Amino acid sequence: MEEENQKISLLVEDISLLQNYIEDLFNFLPIPICFISPRKVILEANLAFKEISGYTTEEIIGKSIEEIFKKEEIESLLKEASEKELVKEKETVFITKEGKEIPVSLSIKLRKSPEGEILGYFLGFFDLGQIKIVETQLKEKIKEFEKLREKELVLRIREIAKSKDIERKVEELEKTRKALMNILEDVEEERKKAEEEKSKTLAIIQNFTDGLLVFDKEGKVSLINPQAENFFKVKGKEVIGKSILELSQFPDFKLMVEAVGKELKGIFRKEVPIREDLILEVTTVPTMREEEKIGTLMILHDVTREKAIERMKTEFVSISAHQLRTPLSAIKWTLKMFLDGDLGELTKEQREFLEKTYQSNERMINLINDLLNVARIEEGRYLYRPVLADIVPICQSVIDSYKEEIEKKNLKFEFKRPKELPKVRVDIEKISLAIQNLLENAILYNLPGGKIEISLKLKENKIEFSIKDTGIGIPKDQQRRVFTKFFRAPNAMRMETEGSGLGLFITKNIIEAHGGRIWFESEEGKGTTFYFTLPVAQKT
Amino acid sequence: MDQKLTKELAKKLMEFKGEIRGIDIISDGDFVLRNHGEEALKKVEEKLKEVGFPIEYKKLKPMGFYPGGLKVLSLLAIKEALGYSDEKIEEIGMAAPRFSLIIKLFVKYFFSLKKFFFDFSPKIWREYWTTGEFVPMELNEEKQFATARYQNFDLHPIYCLYLKGYFTTLTKLITGAKKVECKEIKCTFRGDKFHEYFLKWE
């Protein structure tokens, strides 16, 4: 019995030592380990397990494993462990007492009795928290590194691009520099050319036979050439910078300024007698740059000699005409006496010859009259005696005097006028001559059986006279010369050999002397319409 | 329960016939150590020395058998030395199964509540005590309650408190229930013929 007790005592001691050994081993293991019952109750947990969970032994023992792992996950893993007996390194989440979730790598070993009954499970896990942190940190570091690399790469690329960009820009700048140099060369060349041109222009201006005055934008003299200095007997420096109004303080400028006006406006041309020995044809032309007026050019053409010649010519014509008219009048009256039978009966043949001679003489007289009128006009001696008159009877009188010719040529004639027209202040004789000239042309250059229509209208304080024919018309290329002296259109000359070419010149001068305006519309082969206006007389 | 631990009482308790595994006494010391430290444990040991039964918890052998009265002496010494209430004594009982090697050895029987309750729980009693009997009375798994009794065992009322705590935890470990209620419905110290506990879990 004693021996038995000793054996039992030894066994008990061995068991105690074994328990200590197991506990020491169990607690020494740095891996959290626990043992759970088949009902998932924690029955044993080592020190590492308690440390990581934050629970004390009293708290952890008896706790359901589902409270410290995610329920679904642990259930699934335990089921797997029941089937396979061993589940290794499955990632799941461990929940501490503080509620902190720690990622762990969990292994489960099924514990069975020799009879195959499930006794429970051993659970052990690695804390992946740190690994995860390290992994996350590593990932972050990798990301950061990649970002840095990317940044660096971008910077590098930018640097390369920049250097390439710089190279490209340098190239561009070089090109630009070359282009600029070329431009500069061109500019220099152009400047030289411009200088040359300027010199040339200045030379031309200086040596120009006409006087030139250049006014700037503000209307002040910016340039005067020597010829103009001579005309006005001034020195350039005296007039440069002066306005046209200021120029009038120089005696020789006075008349010119009066003629031109105080302001320089548009195109202007006028003959201005500056002195007794100087007549200038003054022309002003605005100088434009695109649509902007940058100044005015005044061209002073000396027409003194031309005017003198013209005057002499006119005087010659006048004297000649006067001298011719006296014998022609004598011839006229002599021929008239013959034709009237004052000097005895004439045979038919004699009469025919004398009639032709009479008509030729008449034409000669008309021509002389025209020449005298032109001479008077040019000499400024064509005197007007305006009176207040009704234009209708004046027209009618002229028409009546041409009735015979109209009928002879079988022309249809119409005179349209309103019932009442205001009076005009006219020289009846001169206006009659003007209307006569126009009517004569309409008859002469009309075709037999044609039509003439005279109209009178009141238009804006003006009486408009028009005479429309269906004659040969005036060729387009000749139209601008219609009112010049001695002009006769070729088709007119072919049709009617007689005619001085002075009628319309005289007519124009008469109308303009009355403050009116004359113009025409014509189409060759279709006819012509002449118009003139006369201002309505102002009531006094 | 306010019975003062005296030498007389100690002597009387030590006369109790029957032995207990060292582990069950060691777990008391461990509880004090875990919760109050070395000094507290020394105080308890001093108390035991005072009443004439000096023991050093750390030197006890877990699987060794010691006089059954020593268990009650241990509890009474702790209660007196540390001013423990009845509830705290229950707590010592509640902590014990969590550290018990014997319970760990019986884990293999936890797979079936019925089998454990009826077949193995009396064995566990015997693993601890050389005297008395544990009798499983009723188990209703559906309604989650059980009644059990131990008999022929009249040690001291403080041990009834200790066992109340012990059964509570053991029921938790076996059933996995979060909440367990344990009541001693019959007690020899209240005139009953045996001790009967009613266990209810959720």
Lowest mean pLDDT among A11-20, A338-347, B16-25: A11-20
Tally of CB atoms within 10 A around A496: 13
Mean pLDDT along residues B142-162: 92
Q: Do residues A519 and A419 both lie within one domain?
A: yes
Q: How far is A89 from chain B (nearest CA, A)?
A: 26
Q: Are A536 and A463 in contact (CB under 8 A)?
A: yes
Asked whether the predicted pLDDT for residue B119 surpasses 60, the reply is yes
Q: What pLDDT is stored for residue A497 in this prediction?
A: 64
Asked whether the predicted pLDDT for residue A16 surpasses 80, the reply is no
A34 and chain B: CB distance < 8 Å anywhere? Answer: no
Q: How far is B51 from chain A (nearest CA, A)?
A: 28
Count of H helices and E strands in chain A?
Answer: 16, 17
Asked whether the predicted pLDDT for residue A321 surpasses 90, the reply is no
CA distance A94 to A106: 9
Q: Which of B61, B111, B176 sits opposite A64 (nearest CB)?
A: B176
Chains A, B: CB pairs < 8 Å: 73
Lowest mean pLDDT among A72-76, A178-182, A480-484, B162-166: A178-182
Q: What pLDDT is stored for residue B67 in this prediction?
A: 93
Q: Which of B64, B101, B111 sits opposite A117 (nearest CB)?
A: B111
Write down the mean pLDDT value for chain A.
Answer: 85
Three-state DSSP state, B182: strand
Highest mean pLDDT among A464-468, A498-502, B98-102, B150-154: A464-468
> Looking at A133, A165, A187, which one is the last position of a domain?
A133
Q: Locate the chain A residue with the closest alpha carbon to B109.
A: A119
Asked whether the predicted pLDDT for residue A6 surpasses 80, the reply is no
B114 and chain A: CB distance < 8 Å anywhere? Answer: no
The more confidently predicted of residues A187 and A531 is A531
- ipTM > 0.85 for the complex: no
Q: Do residues A333 and A219 both lie within one domain?
A: no
Q: Do residues A362 and A393 both lie within one domain?
A: no
Residues in chain B within 8 Å Cβ distance of A15 = 62-63
pLDDT-derived band of residue A431, with 50, 70 and 90 as boundaries?
very high
Highest mean pLDDT among A43-47, A156-160, A279-283, B138-142: B138-142
Which of A22, A35, A37 has the highest number of chain B CBs within 10 A, making it the mutation to test binding with B? A37
| Contact at CB, B95 and A62, closer than 8 angstroms | no
Mean pLDDT along residues A520-526: 93
Q: Do residues A402 and A492 both lie within one domain?
A: yes
The more confidently predicted of residues A99 and A383 is A99
Q: Which of B63, B99, B111 sits opposite A118 (nearest CB)?
A: B111
CATH code: domain of residue A471: 3.30.565.10
Q: Do residues A372 and A337 both lie within one domain?
A: yes
CA distance A467 to A519: 11
Q: Which three-class secondary structure string do you get for A495-529?
A: HCCCCCCCHHHHHHHHHHHCCCEEEEEEECCCEEE
Q: Would residue A519 count as lying in a domain?
A: yes
**Number of compact structural domains in chain A:** 4
Residues in chain B within 8 Å Cβ distance of A113 = 108
Q: Which of B95, B111, B176 sits opposite A119 (nearest CB)?
A: B111
Q: Which of B61, B98, B178 sits opposite A57 (nearest CB)?
A: B98
Q: Note the pLDDT tens digit of each residue in A333-356.
A: 999 898 988 888 888 898 989 988
Asked whether the predicted pLDDT for residue A540 surpasses 70, the reply is no
| Contact at CB, A39 and B169, closer than 8 angstroms | no
Three-state DSSP state, A111: strand
Q: Do residues A338 and A267 both lie within one domain?
A: no
Q: Do residues A325 and A291 both lie within one domain?
A: no
Q: Which of B108, B174, B178 sits opposite A113 (nearest CB)?
A: B108
Highest mean pLDDT among A257-266, A304-313, A382-391, B8-17: B8-17
Q: Do residues A397 and A518 both lie within one domain?
A: yes
Alpha carbon separation from B47 to A251, B4, B82, B88 (Å, rounded) = 152, 11, 10, 18
Q: How far is B45 from chain A (nearest CA, A)?
A: 22
Mean pLDDT along residues A325-337: 87
Q: What pLDDT is stored for residue B26 in this prediction?
A: 92
| Contact at CB, A62 and B172, closer than 8 angstroms | yes
A13 and chain B: CB distance < 8 Å anywhere? Answer: yes
> Looking at A282, A302, A322, which one is the last position of a domain?
A302
Q: What pLDDT is stored for residue A227 in this prediction?
A: 87
Which of B61, B114, B201 has the highest number of chain A CBs within 10 A, making it the mutation to test binding with A? B61
Residue A242 has φ and ψ, to the nearest 5°, of -95, 145
Q: What pLDDT is stored for residue A1 in this prediction?
A: 60
Q: Do residues A358 and A461 both lie within one domain?
A: no
> Looking at A287, A302, A317, which one is the last position of a domain?
A302
| Contact at CB, B110 and A120, closer than 8 angstroms | yes
Q: Which of B63, B99, B176 sits opposite A15 (nearest CB)?
A: B63
A47 and chain B: CB distance < 8 Å anywhere? Answer: no
pLDDT-derived band of residue B108, with 50, 70 and 90 as boundaries?
low
Phi-psi region of A55 (alpha: psi -120 to 50; beta: other; left: phi over 0): beta
**Taking a contact as any Cβ pair under 8 Å apart, which residues of chain B between 117 and 156 contact chain A?**
none
Q: Would residue A432 count as lying in a domain?
A: yes
Q: What pLDDT is stored for residue A473 in this prediction?
A: 93
The pTM of this model reads: 0.46
Q: Do residues A368 and A416 both lie within one domain?
A: no
Q: How far is B189 from chain A (nearest CA, A)?
A: 30
Q: How far is B76 from chain A (nearest CA, A)?
A: 22
Q: Are B157 and B112 in contact (CB under 8 A)?
A: no
CA distance A283 to A270: 7
Helices (H), A220-279: 226-232, 236-239, 244-247, 251-260
Q: Locate the chain B residue with the closest alpha carbon to A65.
A: B176
Q: How far is A11 from chain B (nearest CA, A)?
A: 9
Residues in chain B within 8 Å Cβ distance of A44 = 104
pLDDT-derived band of residue A97, with 50, 70 and 90 as boundaries?
very high
Q: Are A297 and A285 in contact (CB under 8 A)?
A: yes
Q: Would residue A513 count as lying in a domain?
A: yes
A6 and chain B: CB distance < 8 Å anywhere? Answer: no
Q: Do residues A51 and A91 both lie within one domain?
A: yes
Lowest mean pLDDT among A277-281, A290-294, A488-492, A530-534: A290-294
Asked whether the predicted pLDDT for residue A498 surpasses 80, the reply is no
Q: Do residues A124 and A105 both lie within one domain?
A: yes
The parent domain of residue A338 ranges over 307-379
Q: How far is A119 from chain B (nearest CA, A)?
A: 5
CATH code: domain of residue A85: 3.30.450.20
The residue count of chain A comes to: 540
Q: What pLDDT is stored for residue A539 in this prediction?
A: 61
Asked whether the predicted pLDDT for residue A12 surpasses 80, the reply is no
Mean pLDDT along residues A274-296: 84
Q: Note the pLDDT tens digit of each residue in A399-430.
A: 999 999 999 999 999 999 998 899 999 999 88
Which of B23, B63, B101 has the highest number of chain A CBs within 10 A, making it the mutation to test binding with A? B63
Q: Would residue A497 count as lying in a domain?
A: yes
Q: Would residue A345 count as lying in a domain?
A: yes
Which of B107, B119, B166, B172 has the highest number of chain A CBs within 10 A, making it the mutation to test binding with A? B107
Q: Locate the chain B residue with the closest alpha carbon to A46.
A: B99
